[in-house]
């Protein structure tokens, strides 16, 4: 058998095994809207941890992080920082979101805005924005899957066909599983990911340089500036680092899918404990960086850094192990992709289509529409994945910049009584417009700071100013809880 | 809505100071620790220290033995 056949066989074996697992785990529960989206709100620490590790540590951490270590160097460190610091914010914010979520039976992020600010149009706007910025994150996963199939087939299968295969796999996976199935496949994904990362992160520097220390000595000898900021870029210095870490650690909590994940927990303390153990998962990141830095010297001159990890692995290991790495990479793309698709489809059906166009739809009809939307959402992401050539990290930063614009509305909504619906609406419009303008006109980083962070600051200011000049509006959260106390 | 205690907030601000705002102080290659450049070593250390800070904040918000401390060591999967 040729190398490509061996590698592809192993990859597909892993994918099929994962899909069977998802189907089995999902099929044991009746799939109404509540089960499909928030798993019946009964997950303990183990499942919440798995689900969150499943959606946060994506193919971006695997291929994108090594790709940036390869092509940009020092600025890549921001990934360790934001993923770690984010959990310190998560510790405070997410349990509060969970609490109001349980009290008002929320399933999605726009539900939060609708209850707090009493406007279904604000909620529909949040749904549309969330939907729009989930697409690049999803596109990232499909691109990653495409890269894996392409490299593992020794370029025998081209990118478009590889992505079409990826599309079919992911859509089928979501249909089969629902959120509970996805959580269980995360186990397989995490075990594989941790093992693979430890093996390649330690063995690749050892094979090429005789160890991690000697590998860094060689990089320092060749190009010391690569290891500090701005590394091999011109504009990613310390101001960029601070603004990007702030934007991503605050904004990263605002992914619509992460809201839904918080609602799956059975108590707020499950989420607090999750914040304690979650940072430890980041220990995989330096190992992935080691791979990127090794590739920096061992296989210089790749046009696309995202190919670095797999190209180096293909050059170094036997085909079956390339298959294991590829299969692991495929699951780290498919598990989060499934969660994003689920989230985007639900946002569209529940918080945009029903309230705006068809208020009489039943929950079951919404669930059906959401399932149909799975194909549409995946199709849109596939279209963008085929026709754009943005790097994985750049895609991630676009998504983060977008969803971080929810941060003022959520956090002020929780902690500041004076914030009003028009304030949040205006802030978000300004924030999203700024992100879109700066990104589309290629002005990120903007005067040395992250464009999303700049937009987030404007958003905060506008929200606060408009809120203080508009009429006081009681919080939907307080109103209802008083009513229920009377009852 | 329960207000977060100031001590818990302060504890979780430590990682921000250490990993984010102080970047000009630690973004350097030397001294290398175990052969790893200092900036990378610093951030890796703070992965563990952040976990510790969050744990301390957890103990502040949910004191051991309190009514809210519904502790299930095995996570009580589903």
Mean per-residue pLDDT, A421-440: 92
pLDDT for B69 equals 53
Q: What is the pLDDT of residue B1?
A: 54
Q: Which residues contact A247 (CB under 8 A, 6 or more apart)?
A: A400, A401, A404, A450, A452, A453, A456
Closest CA to A428 of A110, A88, A86: A110
Q: What is the pLDDT of residues A86-130, one digit of tens each?
A: 999 999 999 999 999 999 989 889 999 999 999 999 999 999 999
- Indicate whether B72 belongs to any domain: no
- pLDDT value of residue A475: 81
Instruction: State the pLDDT at residue A27.
Output: 63
A343: Cβ contacts below 8 Å, ≥ 6 apart: A108, A130, A134, A255, A256, A257, A260
User: Quick one: pLDDT at residue A81?
Assistant: 95
Q: Which residues of B touch A96 (CB under 8 A)?
A: 1-2
Note the pLDDT of residue A241. Answer: 95
pLDDT at A456: 95
For the domain that residue A13 is a member of, what is the CATH number?
1.20.1730.10
Report the pLDDT value the prediction gives residue A26, as an integer from 0 to 100: 65
* Full domain range(s) for residue B23: 6-61
Q: Alpha-carbon distance A271 to A276, whole Å? A: 9
Interface of B with A in 27-56 (CB under 8 A): 27-29, 32, 34-37, 39-40, 43-44, 46-48, 50-51, 53-55
CA dihedral A126, A127, A129, A130 (to 10 degrees): 110
* Residue B73: predicted pLDDT: 43
Residue A236 is assigned to a structural domain of this protein: yes
Q: What is the pLDDT of residue A36?
A: 64
B4·A92 Cβ contact <8 A: yes
Domains: count for chain A: 1
**Res A138 pLDDT > 70:** yes
> A10-38 burial string, b = 16+ CB within 10 Å, else e?
bbbebbeebbebbbebbeebebebbbbbb
At residue A351, does pLDDT exceed 80? yes
Say which range, A6-10, A224-228, A477-481, B48-52, has the weakest mean pLDDT: A477-481
Range of the domain at A161: 3-390
Whether the pLDDT of residue A228 is over 80: the answer is yes
Rounded to whole angstroms, the Cα distance separating A372 from A360 reads 18
- Look at residue A453 and tell me whether its pLDDT is greater than 90: yes
Test A87 with B54 for CB contact under 8 angstroms.
yes
Among A26-35, A167-176, A402-411, which range has the highest average pLDDT? A402-411
Could you write out the DSSP letters of every residue in A307-334?
GHHHHHHHHHS-HHHHHHHHHHHHHHHH
Q: State how far the Cα of A334 lies from the Cα of A45, in Å rounded to an integer.
A: 22
Are the C-beta atoms of A210 and A47 separated by less than 8 Å? no
Q: Is the pLDDT of residue A485 over 60?
A: no
For residue B74, tell me if it sits in a domain: no
* Phi (first) and psi of residue A229, to 5 degrees: -85, 145
Distances (CA, A) of A7 to A10, A12, A160, A241, A321: 5, 9, 19, 38, 7
Contacts of residue A427, Cβ cutoff 8 Å, sequence gap at least 6: A405, A408, A409, A459, A460, A461, A462, A463, A464, A466
- Is B11 a domain residue? yes
| Residue B43 covered by a domain | yes
Interface touch A283/B61, C-beta < 8 Å = no
Inter-chain residue contact B29 with A217, CB threshold 8 Å: no
Q: What stretches in chain B show pLDDT beneath 50?
A: 71-78
pLDDT of residue A74: 92
Instruction: Check B27 against A87: CB less than 8 A apart.
Output: no
Identify the CA nearest to A179 among candidates A330, A52, A310. A52
* Domain assignment present for A403: no
Q: In total, how many domains does chain B have?
A: 1
Distance from the Cα of B34 to chain A's closest Cα (Å) equals 7
Q: How far is Cα A171 from Cα A342, in angstroms, rounded to an integer?
A: 10
With 90 as the cut, is the pLDDT of residue A32 above it? no
Q: What pLDDT, in 10s, does the model give residues A365-382?
A: 888 898 888 889 988 888
- A90 touches A278 (CB < 8 A): yes
Higher pLDDT, A161 or A175: A161
Q: Would residue B76 count as lying in a domain?
A: no
In a domain? residue B71: no
Mean pLDDT of chain A: 87
Q: What is the pLDDT of residue A440?
A: 80
* CA dist., res. A286 & res. A325, Å (int): 17
For residue range A400-409, what is the model confidence (pLDDT) as tens digits?
889 999 999 9
Residue A30: predicted pLDDT: 60
Q: What is the pLDDT of residue A487?
A: 36
* For residue A273, pLDDT beyond 70: yes
CA of B62 to nearest chain A CA: how many angstroms apart?
A: 8
Residues of B in contact with A477 (CB under 8 A): 1
User: Which of B36, B48, B58 lies closest to A216 in CB terms?
Assistant: B36
Does the pLDDT of residue A219 top 70, yes or no?
A: yes
A229, A269, A272 ranked by CB distance to B27: nearest: A229
Q: Which two tokens stand for residue A50?
A: 């798995």
Q: Is residue B29 part of a domain?
A: yes
Radius of gyration of chain B (CA): 17
| Nearest by Cα to A2 from A113, A148, A156, A188 | A156
């Amino acid at each position: 058998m040729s190398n490509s056949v061996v590698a592809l066989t192993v990859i597909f074996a892993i994918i099929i095994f994962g899909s069977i697992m998802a189907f089995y785990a999902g099929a044991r529960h009746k799939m109404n809207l509540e089960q499909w989206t928030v798993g019946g709100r009964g997950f303990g620490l183990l499942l919440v941890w798995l689900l969150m590790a499943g959606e946060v540590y994506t193919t971006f951490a695997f291929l994108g992080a090594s790709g940036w270590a390869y092509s940009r160097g020092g600025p890549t460190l921001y990934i360790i920082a934001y993923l770690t610091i984010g959990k310190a914010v998560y510790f405070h914010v997410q349990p509060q979101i969970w609490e109001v979520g349980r009290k008002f039976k929320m399933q999605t992020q726009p539900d939060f805005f609708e209850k707090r600010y009493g406007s279904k149009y604000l909620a529909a706007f949040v749904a549309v924005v969330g939907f729009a910025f989930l697409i690049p994150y999803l596109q990232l996963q499909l691109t990653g899957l495409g890269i894996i199939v392409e490299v593992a087939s020794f370029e025998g299968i081209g990118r478009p066909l590889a992505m079409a295969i990826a599309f079919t796999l992911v859509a089928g996976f979501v249909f089969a599983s629902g959120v509970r199935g996805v959580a269980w496949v995360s186990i397989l994904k995490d075990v594989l990911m941790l093992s693979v990362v430890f093996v390649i992160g330690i063995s690749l520097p050892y094979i090429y340089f005789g160890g991690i220390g000697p590998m860094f000595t060689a990089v320092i000898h060749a190009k010391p500036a690569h290891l500090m900021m701005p590394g091999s870029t011109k504009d990613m210095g310390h101001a960029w680092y601070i603004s990007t870490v702030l934007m991503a650690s605050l904004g990263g909590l605002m992914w619509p899918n992460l809201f839904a994940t918080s609602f799956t927990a059975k108590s707020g303390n499950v989420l607090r404990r999750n914040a304690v153990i979650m940072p430890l998962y980041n220990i995989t990141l330096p190992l992935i960086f080691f791979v990127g830095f090794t590739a920096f010297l061992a296989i210089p001159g790749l046009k696309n850094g995202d190919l670095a990890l797999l190209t180096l692995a293909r050059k170094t290991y036997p085909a079956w192990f390339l298959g294991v790495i590829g299969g692991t990479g495929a699951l780290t793309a498919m598990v989060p992709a499934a969660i994003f698709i689920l989230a985007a489809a639900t946002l569209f059906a529940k918080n945009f289509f029903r309230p705006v166009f068809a208020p009489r739809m039943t929950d079951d009809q919404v669930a059906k529409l959401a399932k149909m939307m799975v194909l549409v959402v995946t199709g849109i992401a596939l279209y963008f994945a085929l026709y754009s050539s943005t790097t994985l990290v750049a895609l991630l930063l676009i998504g983060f910049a977008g969803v971080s614009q929810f941060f003022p509305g959520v956090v002020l909504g929780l902690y500041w009584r004076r914030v009003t619906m028009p304030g949040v609406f205006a802030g978000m419009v300004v924030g999203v417009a700024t992100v879109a303008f700066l990104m589309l006109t290629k002005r990120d980083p903007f005067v040395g700071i992250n464009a999303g962070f700049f937009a987030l600051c404007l958003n905060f200011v506008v929200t606060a100013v408009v809120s203080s000049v508009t009429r006081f509006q009681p919080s939907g959260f307080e109103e209802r809880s008083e009513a229920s106390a009377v009852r | 809505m329960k207000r977060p205690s100031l001590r818990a907030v302060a504890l979780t601000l430590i990682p921000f100071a250490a990993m984010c705002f102080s970047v000009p102080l630690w973004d350097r290659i030397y001294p290398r620790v175990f052969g790893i450049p200092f900036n990378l070593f610093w951030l890796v250390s703070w992965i563990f220290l952040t976990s510790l800070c969050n744990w301390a904040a957890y103990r502040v918000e949910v004191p051991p033995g309190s009514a809210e401390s519904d502790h299930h060591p095995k996570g009580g999967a589903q």
